[in-house]
Amino acid sequence: MTHLQQQRERAELFRRLHHGSEILILPNIWDAASARVYELAGFPALATSSSALAAALGYPDGEAISRDHFVEAVARIVRVIHVPLSVDVESGFGKNIAEVLETIQAMLEVGAVGINLEDSTKDAQPVLVDSAYQVELLHAVRALGVQQQVPLVINARTDVFILDERETPEAIEEAVKRGNAYLEASADSVYPILAHGRATIEALAKGIDGPVNVLASGRTPTIPELAEIGVARVSFGGSIMRAALGQLRAIGEELRTTGTYRALTENTLPSKDFESLFD
């Protein structure tokens, strides 16, 4: 099987996972090790977290990292996994559609089969981009995928709830309107990031005519509850890395105080499992 055939199959598998009987749980990873741990744990697909991937390389979130370093980091992940990988490309590392397409093209070249694409600006005070621009962009991304023969899975993020955390009826209406416009513009799913209240999520899942991705967190309903109210896909952003870094901090605290190894050793990945990550 050629690389392209393999990539096409992964993209098709990934798309089907949005329409299965079970909710799609996508752990957000940032490097080869975190990716392999979740692949070996049986997750059928993986997604990068932009903030976690940037942090692993030493940069804040928000396209501060160079596109080249970003692409190389994604390539290192794809190289070692056998399941579909979706990449959070933020706003696409570009000032216009042509530049964003260069980023997506690079993602396709290194083997990604899905992307997240945001609809707010990277300004100090971000604003939503014009919906018409985002629709044009999504059409262009789909056309690129067709041209490259990869049925790319496009997760269209709408940042309505970043800008309006109160989940007002107006915000919900705007998110539904944008979501449906993005689906019509060939997005495969809609990601109203930070939507967290049960009623809000239910309204979004009902109003948006396609798969909805929820950022699951301590503020949202549990995954079975999200499945019940019609959510198709959950992801976790940078929170999985933050949990790992919290564990590092706890280990350090114990080493410096009692000088013991409880946090270091309990629930650790056994050496034999670690050594078999990259056999």
Min dist. Cβ of residue 45 to a second copy (A): 13
Nearer to a second copy, 207 or 230 (CB): 230
Residue type, 238: G
Min dist. Cβ of residue 151 to a second copy (A): 26
Q: How far apart are CA 158 and CA 162, in angstroms?
A: 9
Q: What is the DSSP letter of 268?
A: P
Min dist. Cβ of residue 185 to a second copy (A): 31
Q: How far apart are CA 65 and CA 83, in angstroms?
A: 26
Q: Give the Å distances, CA to CA, from 244 to 45, 77, 86, 87, 102.
A: 20, 18, 21, 20, 32
Q: How far apart are CA 10 and CA 14, in angstroms?
A: 6
Nearer to a second copy, 41 or 98 (CB): 41
- Report the candidate in 186, 201, 203 with the shortest Cα–Cα distance to residue 233: 201
Nearer to a second copy, 142 or 242 (CB): 242
Residue type, 181: A
Nearer to a second copy, 2 or 265 (CB): 265
Min dist. Cβ of residue 1 to a second copy (A): 21
Residue 237 in 3-state DSSP? coil
Min dist. Cβ of residue 184 to a second copy (A): 31
Min dist. Cβ of residue 33 to a second copy (A): 4
Min dist. Cβ of residue 153 to a second copy (A): 20
- Report the candidate in 127, 102, 114, 192 with the shortest Cα–Cα distance to residue 153: 114
Residue 65 in 3-state DSSP? coil
Nearer to a second copy, 136 or 165 (CB): 165
Nearer to a second copy, 109 or 254 (CB): 254
Nearer to a second copy, 18 or 178 (CB): 18
- In this structure, what is the dihedral angle of CA atoms 25, 30, 243, 228, given to the nearest 10 degrees? -10
Q: How far apart are CA 78 and CA 74, in angstroms?
A: 6
